[in-house]
Structure 1
């Protein structure tokens, strides 16, 4: 099983989405910052590192009590590999984004616009759960 971790990042009423570059072999989809666990990293360490690598953001406050897992299959050649992604929730202290070369665009969007912009339904479900958690 492949494991990744990411962060649903918000600032005020807006959520950060990043667009993966078609050049990086991706399909130009919109998602949250996330990436693979390296070495002996914890899930939170991975999510934090990936957030900084992909967006340049390292000033944030983690929202305690939120952790959402999604599972799906990825296709690599003829192989089907199960993947698990754990998402944390954090409040950004800045809106300044410096994208990595793996990404071609970013947007800070309100909830309904972010829901429309996200490419995959499992990411939309994570966003809904994050919003509900914040509203409670």
Structure 2
């Protein structure tokens, strides 16, 4: 089955307030009920990374200049979803993420009308919140990468 839908976003983290280098991950609760990092479908003439920036601004309120992106950390998840153009049909979707850090940990989240809630969680709780095993694995892999950063 070939990829029919694509989405791009950031595994977004900040340093926990009052701690030395403890990352917290941003998760958004979609109207449909699932939790995930900010991501979405590309618009015409938009690069993958441009799409990730736009979606993060639309869904969480963070602009490009508020983020530090680790482009060397780029991962994709593949899974089946209901087709957006042909109801009743299942298609393969790729969600590609880059790791990004919110530069100012106290900048507030401004969620879109596509979401009902947000949380900042340390990795163990974030993995439980997202429910999907592959996304939980990606959060764990992100945490491992962050723990080796020299910032």
- The C-alpha deviation readout for 1:1-59, integer Å capped at 9, x for no partner, is 111001000001211000001xxxx2x11111000011021111111100000010111
Q: Per residue, is there more strand in 1 or in 2?
A: 1
TM-score normalised to structure 2 length: 0.82
Q: Which SS does the other structure have where 2:146 is aligned? A: helix
Match of 1:20 among 23, 30, 36: 30
- How far does residue 119 in structure 1 lie from its aligned partner after superposition? 2.6
Q: CA separation in 2, counterparts of 1:64 and 1:37?
A: 18
Distance in 2 of aligned mates of 1:101 and 1:130: 27
Larger Rg, first or second structure (1 or 2): 2
Matched, 1:69 2:92: no
What is the root-mean-square deviation of aligned Cα atoms in Å? 1.1
What's the counterpart of residue 86 of structure 1? 96
Segments of structure 2 that go 5 or more residues without pairing to the other structure are 16-22
Runs of 4 or more consecutive aligned structure 1 residues displaced over 4 Å after TM superposition: none
Residue ranges of structure 1 left out of the alignment (5+ in a row): none
Q: 1:52 aligns with which of 43, 54, 57?
A: 57
